[in-house]
Structure 1
């Protein structure tokens, strides 16, 4: 693949992958990238896992030993990832795109809000609690790490999943916070339908004109599942 514009975005559709493998791969990609390295977005699902952010407190895990808990270098507290939830990891060179981490967070929230609007679901963000909400229930979460002025980690959008494991934690460190998903608002929505809408809204926020999709069976040197 030959891409001439540094403004282009590579989108990798990866399917179901272990959280640990993807987290290590994101770190390696960000650590190894050069100023000219193209930005990438990775669309992923994970097997059931709790991830604990840098400021995470163990007391926010209410039912331990039910689901694996992984330590993450992103910001924030504990959250849950599982099949039917769309993860969108964003490896963006903030310096090249002349945006701040706060602006990236804002446009990620706007990406989720605009995507839900496409499916006729009204949602909103909160200044005091990052993420996206529908009727006071959380539907989308954010968590970023910035390294050498480049981002990794990203957002999760609950689409069509088992929400039960969220009851085993205080989601994002908020006791009693209820979670919801797109399926509860609009029936029979799949991740396959959501993915292109997410990417369209994200690239629109960043004014990206060229997007290159790479399917999960194509080679990526940073993604190697460990046996």
Structure 2
């Protein structure tokens, strides 16, 4: 897998570039992983409902062709875009999503943070009271998000068995724009970053750790 660190890039232009790469690739095209961050932007997935954008203010809202609802991208967030041929990798979409989430969980582990999955709600969450505790979430949980904060969002697009879009890990960012939306369509869902959880790290280190984990899990 070829890893490209793009730095801070415009969201719409990056989405266009991902689509062009995917449409132009052939069976022998090497997979790529793009690591970047974006200027402030709300992105709305194919299933996204406008009512989940509560108060965008000056932040632009961009319609995308990924799955999922609305999320926020901004400086201090590592956004990873794996451009992967699932047929060559020999996996299906469900396994692909599992591996994306596993890469985030393992990245968080390097910082002493325990990541959790919530059934039916893609992404990775943390226990706000005890971010480093290893206890698993147990049910039944009437409110599946009670006591949790979302630290990583996931939204993908698959066309002709090839992926783009990806996963975003909150590192050290201004979290206030998240209050202008229902993150991923869930009213009241708390969004957190590594800094909020007491982790001191920089964008480059977090990007390298996440990139290494993704490359490991998405290479034949």
TM-score by length of 2: 0.88
Match of 2:111 among 111, 119, 143: 119
Distance 2:156 2:24 in 1: 18
Aligned partner of residue 41 in structure 1, secondary structure: strand
CA contact (8 A) 2:178 2:191 kept: yes
- The corresponding residue for 2:9 is 17
Q: Deviations over 1:145-174 (max 9, x none)?
A: 001110000000000000000000000000
* TM-score (ref. length: structure 1): 0.86
- From 163, 173, 191, the equivalent of 1:151 is 163
Residues 1:78 and 2:45 are matched in the alignment? no
Match of 1:196 in 2: 208
1:172 maps to what in 2? 184
Secondary structure at the residue paired with 1:182? coil
RMSD: 1.0
Determine whether 1:89 maps to 2:81: yes
- What CA deviation, in whole Å up to 9, does each residue of 1:164-214 have, x standing for no partner? 000000000000000011111234211111122112211222355xxxxxx
Q: Secondary structure at the match of 1:184?
A: coil
Does the aligned pair in 1 maintain the 2:55–2:181 contact within 8 Å? yes
Q: Deviations over 1:37-75 (max 9, x none)?
A: 000000011000000000100000101443100000000
**In the alignment, which of 105, 115, 137 is matched to residue 97 of structure 2?**
105
- Of residues 37, 47, 65, the one that matches 2:39 is 47
- Report Cα offsets for 1:2-21 as digits up to 9, x if no partner: xxxxxxx0000000000001
Residue in 2 that maps onto 1:184: 196
Residues 82-123 of structure 1: CA deviation (Å, up to 9, x unaligned): 000000001000001111011110000000000000111111
| Long gaps (5+) in structure 2 | 128-147
Q: Secondary structure at the match of 1:183?
A: coil
The answer to whether the Cα contact below 8 Å between 1:119 and 1:186 also exists between their aligned partners in 2 is no
Q: Does 1:30 align with 2:22?
A: yes
Match of 2:59 in 1: 67
1:218 aligns with none
Q: Report which stretch shifted further, 64-73 or 90-99.
A: 64-73
Equivalenced residues, count? 200
